[in-house]
Amino acid sequence: MKSFLGRVLSTIVGNIATLSIFGILLFLLIIVSSINSPSPTVKDGSVLELTFEDAILESDMDNEVSFFDLSTPTKFYLQNILQAIEKAKTDDNIKGISLKIENFNGGLTQASDIRKALEDFKTSGKFVYAYSNNASQLSYYLNTVADSVYQNPLGGTLLQGMSSEVMFYKNAGDKYGVDFQVIRYGEFKSAVEPFFRTDLSDENKLQLNSLLGDIWGNISNDMAKSRKINPLNFQTITDSLYSYIPEVGLKHKIYDKIIHEAEYEDILFKKLNLKAKSNKTNGEILAKHTIGIKEYYNTYSEDSNSDKIAVLYASGEITEGDGFDGIQSKTYVKAIRDIEKNKNIKALVLRVNSPGGSANASEEILFELRRLKAKMPIVVSFGDVAASGGYYIAQDSDKIFAQPNTITGSIGVFGMIPNAKELVNNIGITTDGVKTNANADQLKSIFNPLSSDAEKMMNRSVVLVYEKFVNHVARNRKMTFEQVNKIGGGRVWSGTSAKQIGLVDEFGGLNDALKEAAKLAKIEEYSTESFPKRKESIEELMDKLQGNNIESKIKKELGTDAAKIYSSLKTMNQQKGVQARLPFDIKTN
């Protein structure tokens, strides 16, 4: 008895100690975050250095809140990067930009936005130089904006084009006795193909080839044009992996010069007209005249105006719920209503970067946006992906902007109910039960195959949601049902093709959408305000402590591929009800 009481007391004491330590850490976090570090300054004759080693975020919604990371969440986003480059264009203290981008940690449309900003910067007559040791393909896409591209002798760039790989689960289901009962509308709605096929369908191959062809055509032509290389020759260079060996890449105009980094620093030193000192190296002097983009942004303050444009960031999968992981319907409905109540907000820009998800949650969000549109202009800006549900929620807007490389469309829906009866039977588990009605056991148990009635009902539900989706698009895009249906069927399009067939209005990034919103709202001076509003970090952290981030643990212990499989299975389990979801992910590097 004493031993038992001793164990109980030690457990209580241990818990109290843990909570005390945690409380002290949180207190220190509050104190540290309240201390303002001194603002950096820009010396005359400085160079703005861009590396983009940190993930490029678009809003507070992209910040991860973790018990193991008590640092203050970043407040530096894509919009701030673009603003800083624009500011540097007219800043007399900034003489040029140095690109040292090796592993660009952002999406393709983010790279396009930054590349466009750099091209605009060059119109000032200031220089842009680039240096790399080992650059990813997307990093090189940015580096090609430079007047000169310098390369380390023992590095290289892996220019290799684009590919897509899809993982299939049918054989695993057959082996272990899981039947993925799939109902879909649209021959191109391939999100469920991995569960009933072992390879790509002809329709899926067609849309993937078209999509990758458009995207690679856009970025390869940009790179070839900047490097003054014939587009056909650039494809040969890519096919042959010539850029991987510096001397071969130099021969084919991928690089301008092969030098060591210290030599590159000497070039910048001379370009900035800096003076040598006997007690300091050129590199030490140059370092004092080099400023990172985040530090540069903090050297000036943005104007604050009473008229505002709200930016609603919709990033991630669309689900039903109230939280900050992805696009949870209740959170976004509340955010839209908060925007409506704010008298200073004159327009809304909806920034979408989503593969879709729950059709019901998408409809909830769209309904609230329709009500808001009666009171103010709504302009949509598409990021890397705005497909299925991501495209669905954009259908009450005045104008839709996309990048040529945006993945969009996928107007189609599906439903899937896994049946694991054979699986549990094979390991000696059986199930039995009673029911009051013919279909009382349907659509809620994974141990029952779909009855004919349930299958008919699911088919009807999928068709009804698809027709509603098409009608939304037809109304907003000023098309007939037949016109939308012809380009629907679940097919995914690049931004280039989407503009040609009328699914988007203009090419442009977030800045273009903001300017259009201001124009429609008839305001000239404005500031922006981001939505949804997240909870305070500590409050959100306490919410997260109730659960564990299993995916992060799997990634740490077993690697990225294992985490990807877990994520796919988790997504499959969450696909309750009819789904409007993108069938695949595209990676550029």
- pLDDT (0 to 100) of residue 19: 46
Q: Which of residues 188 and 497 earns the better pLDDT score?
A: 497
* Strand, coil or helix: 356: strand
* 35-49, 230-244, 574-588: range with highest mean pLDDT: 230-244
Where do we find the tokens 């769209």?
366
As a whole number of angstroms, the distance between CA 530 and CA 466 comes to 32
Span 448-482, pLDDT tens digits: 777 777 778 777 888 888 999 999 999 999 999 99
Q: Which of residues 539 and 198 earns the better pLDDT score?
A: 198
As a whole number of angstroms, the distance between CA 337 and CA 283 comes to 54
- pLDDT (0 to 100) of residue 118: 98
As a whole number of angstroms, the distance between CA 568 and CA 582 comes to 13
pLDDT for 102 beyond 60: yes
Q: Which domains does the chain have, with CATH numbers?
A: 46-160+241-297 (3.90.226.10), 308-412+463-578 (3.90.226.10)
As a whole number of angstroms, the distance between CA 217 and CA 232 comes to 11
Which amino acids are annotated catalytic? 189, 388
Predicted TM-score (pTM) of this structure: 0.81
Q: Which of 238, 241, 207 is nearest to 221 (CA)?
A: 238
pLDDT-based confidence at 564, cuts 50/70/90? low
Q: Please give the full DSSP string across 103-120, using - where no structure is assigned.
A: S--S-HHHHHHHHHHHHH
Q: Which of 441, 391, 422 is nearest to 582 (CA)?
A: 391
Where do we find the tokens 């993937």?
208
Specify the pairing of strand 46-50 against strand 179-185. unpaired
Span 157-208, pLDDT tens digits: 989 999 888 888 888 877 877 777 777 766 666 677 888 888 888 888 899 9
Q: How many CB atoms lie within 10 A of CB 7?
A: 10
pLDDT for 575 beyond 60: no
- pLDDT (0 to 100) of residue 560: 58
CA dihedral (4, 7, 9, 12) positive or negative? negative
Look up residue 489 and give its two tokens: 């069927």
- pLDDT (0 to 100) of residue 510: 94
Look up residue 548 and give its two tokens: 């564990």
Span 345-399, pLDDT tens digits: 999 999 999 999 999 999 999 999 999 999 999 999 999 999 999 999 999 999 9
Q: Which of residues 226 and 434 earns the better pLDDT score?
A: 226
Mean pLDDT check: name the lowest of 68-77, 352-361, 531-540: 68-77
Q: Which of residues 440 and 525 earns the better pLDDT score?
A: 525
As a whole number of angstroms, the distance between CA 275 and CA 60 comes to 43
- pLDDT (0 to 100) of residue 240: 96
pLDDT-based confidence at 568, cuts 50/70/90? low
pLDDT for 252 beyond 80: yes
- pLDDT (0 to 100) of residue 271: 96
Q: Which helix (H) or strand (E) holds 181?
A: strand 179-185
- pLDDT (0 to 100) of residue 580: 61
- pLDDT (0 to 100) of residue 123: 97
Look up residue 73 and give its two tokens: 């969440």
Residues 6+ away with beta carbon under 8 Å from 292: 48, 49, 50, 51
pLDDT-based confidence at 9, cuts 50/70/90? very low
pLDDT-based confidence at 68, cuts 50/70/90? very low
pLDDT-based confidence at 569, cuts 50/70/90? low
In this prediction, residues 14-20 reach a mean pLDDT of 49
Span 309-340, pLDDT tens digits: 999 999 999 999 888 889 999 999 999 999 99
pLDDT-based confidence at 519, cuts 50/70/90? very high
- The CA–CA distances, whole Å, from 131 to 47, 191, 228 equal 14, 40, 18
pLDDT for 119 beyond 80: yes
pLDDT for 41 beyond 90: no
Span 396-450, pLDDT tens digits: 999 999 999 999 999 987 777 777 777 667 777 777 777 778 777 776 667 777 7
Mean pLDDT, the chain, integer: 84
In this prediction, residues 209-233 reach a mean pLDDT of 96
- pLDDT (0 to 100) of residue 403: 96
pLDDT for 307 beyond 90: yes
CA dihedral (510, 522, 498, 238) positive or negative? negative
